[in-house]
Amino acid sequence: MSRAALLVLADGRFPAGGHAHSGGAEAAVKAGRITSAASLEDFCRGRLHTAGLVAGALAAAAVLGVEPRELDAAADARTPSPALRAAARRLGRQLMRAARASWPSAELDALAGEFPKGVHQPVVLGVAARAAGLSPVDAAYCAAYESVSGPATATVRLLSLDPFDATGALARLAPELDRVADAAVEAAGRVVDEGVDALPAASGPLLEVGAEWHAAWPVRLFAS
C-alpha cells in the first residue's frame, strides 16, 4: 500500500462532504467570537485540542482494529450535542461512500451494512485508512487536520478573510497538530488494552452549545 493514499484521504477535495460543514465556525462568527485571523487561530487551537484530539484517537483506534460499534458509542458519549451527533453520522455516511469507491474492503462493506444510518465520521475515517493500508498515526493526523482546516476555509467565506491569513493560522498550528496526533495515537494504543474509556474526552463547551444554537437557525451557509 502507498503512503500517498494519505494525501488522497486528507485532500479537501476528497468527495466526502466536508466542505458543507464549518466545524462550529459559522456559529462562532455570528456570535462575534471569531472576527479576525487571530481569533480564528485561537478557535482552531481550541478545537484541535478538544474535538480534534478525540477524533484523532477514535480514528487511530479504528485503524488498530478496535470494534467500530464501541468506538461509535464512545463518540456519542463524547458528543453531548444531538446536532453534532447527527452531523458526525451524516459525514460518516458520505465518507463511507467515497471510501468504498476508493479502497474497496470487506470491513468497510460490513460497517456500512451494520450501520445504515451512519457511524461517527472519525470512526469511518479510521476504517477507511485501514482499508487504504495507512497507519494509526496517518489517520490521527488526518482527523486532527480536518478539525482545523474545515473552520479555516469556512471562515474565509464567512468573514471574507484573506485566504493567506487563514492558511498562515493553520501553518502556525502545525507543531501543536504534531503533538495532538502523537497523543491521539498513544491513547488509541491504550484503548486496545484498556477499552474505550481510555479514549480522551476533551470537550469545548462553546462548540457544543454553539452547534445547538446554529442548528436552530432557519438560514445557514453551512450544515454545522
Binding of residue 204 to other proteins (CB under 8 A): yes
In the complex, what is the shortest distance from the CB of residue 142 to other proteins, in angstroms, rounded to a whole number? 20
Number of residues that bind other proteins (CB under 8 A): 45
- Grid look-up 471569531 returns 34
In the complex, what is the shortest distance from the CB of residue 47 to other proteins, in angstroms, rounded to a whole number? 5
Of the residues 116, 117, 193, 216, which one makes contact with other proteins according to CB under 8 A: 216
Closer to other proteins by CB, 64 or 206: give it. Answer: 206
Closer to other proteins by CB, 12 or 195: give it. Answer: 195
The contacts of residue 159 (CB under 8 Å, 6+ apart) are 29, 34, 35, 36, 40
> Distance (Å, rounded) from C-alpha 70 to C-alpha 219?
35
From residue 12 to residue 51, the character string flagging contacts with other proteins as x (rule: CB under 8 A) and all else as - is ------------x---x--x-xx----x--xxxxxxxxxx
Closer to other proteins by CB, 13 or 117: give it. Answer: 117
Closer to other proteins by CB, 84 or 131: give it. Answer: 84
Binding of residue 202 to other proteins (CB under 8 A): yes
In the complex, what is the shortest distance from the CB of residue 172 to other proteins, in angstroms, rounded to a whole number? 11
Closer to other proteins by CB, 98 or 206: give it. Answer: 206
Asked if residues 185 and 140 have their Cβ atoms less than 8 Å apart, the reply is: yes
Binding of residue 213 to other proteins (CB under 8 A): yes
Binding of residue 176 to other proteins (CB under 8 A): yes
Q: Within positions 59 to 88, which residues make up the interface with other proteins, using CB under 8 A? A: 73-74, 76-78, 80-83, 85
For 91, half-sphere exposure in the C-beta direction (CA atoms, 13 angstrom radius) is: 26
> Distance (Å, rounded) from C-alpha 22 to C-alpha 102?
25
The contacts of residue 123 (CB under 8 Å, 6+ apart) are 58, 59, 62, 68, 71, 72, 75, 92
> Distance (Å, rounded) from C-alpha 208 to C-alpha 128?
27
Distances (CA, A) of 175 to 38, 170, 172, 194: 17, 10, 7, 29
Cell of 122: 472519525
Q: Interface residues with other proteins (CB under 8 A)?
A: 24, 28, 31, 33-34, 39, 42-51, 53, 73-74, 76-78, 80-83, 85, 176, 196-197, 199-209, 212-213, 215-216
